Structure 1
Amino acid sequence: MYMPDIKFWYGPGSCSLVPHVLLHESGLPFTAIEVSISKLETRTDAFSRINPKQRVPVISLDESIITEVPAIATAISHLVPELGLMGKTPIEQVRVMEWLCWLSGELHGQCFGGLFRPERFIDDPNQFEAVQSKARNRIIDCFKTIDSRLSRPFAVGNGLTAVDPYLLVFYRWGSRNRFDMSAQYPAFTAYIQSIAAYPAIVSAMGEDGSTL
């Protein structure tokens, strides 16, 4: 069966860990290209031609450029449908999409977006601290919801889906931004400690150069 040439642009420590894990889980050959967010490499002319949004992750399948974590995860899943990376049954696929919409739109875009990039929400620098404080409270609410929904090795079904590495991203961000993850969210912590040993996650985190 024909498989496209896959190129993958990622930033260490970012949400690009999600497709990075899925690519390793897929077993498909791909070329990984590191892009430094801290050095503003996403804003260069060269990268902007790849993704005018100036953000990672990005994947190309031959000449088709795909952006946004849920879309990239779906594209990878379509290449290896037997793995069920977006869920194995219709209801699991719905649950995966439900998780991804909420994680991408609410926890990532709104909550951590407000914490990391308050200037996206308000122009007045004097109000940045208030935006960040509100964002932290919203993150806490999201973490409480996540903690209440995790009771088994995987977030959806009995195998790895795109939800699992996405939850790992936010757990890491929480730990690195003074949220008391282990004390306040024991179910979330136990779940992360379990999936952190998953081979595809170990491989992706090794290339990403990151730890829990």
Structure 2
Amino acid sequence: MTDTRAPDSTRRSERSRRAIYDAALALVGELGYTKTTIEGIAARAGVGKQTIYRWWPSKAAVLLEAFLDLAEQAAAGESEIPDTGDLEADLTLVLRATVDEMNSPAYDAPARALTAAGVVDAELSAQFVEKLLEPQLQLYVKRLRSAQKTGEVRAGIDPRIALELFTGPLAHRWLLRTLPLTHDYADAVVEYALHGLAPRPAATP
């Protein structure tokens, strides 16, 4: 019997959208942001250029949404920073995972492209912060507030400032690319941030 059902436009649109995400991320990795074009994304995805412009106003908007989708897939099932009662162990685990993500080619190229584009595109930068960065930072705020309640962190600290002691050094080293971003580095960042740089009292025998 001949199937006379109309094609599922929703499924077709989702396939096209997924192909466009994949094409945008791949081209940025291969060519860089400057040489990536809407025409190139459309050709790689096998869709018409107007299909892309119907959904997004620019290649920056395409890349942002593709990167957000990539981040959501990577974070599937990991919506919280662990709270085992050991803040140092929990933050070490998270920062090591962050190092792995930053070193991943799938993350590195689009993240650098969006960072560069955001310098000259205030709207894109604001969207990146609102949709991706801020939700991640709020996870640190929540974990640090939990640590305040258990006495692992003193009550008077501002979690928004404190979290930058952990996230800022990783972002700085990632941006500069002059020194390796490793698990050992992540471990040291957590230790220095939690215990400070001043000499510690000698243990009492």
TM-score by length of 2: 0.30
Higher relative CO (Cα under 8 Å, sequence separation at least 6) belongs to 1
Q: Which has the higher helix share?
A: 2
Q: Which has the higher strand share?
A: 1
TM-score by length of 1: 0.29
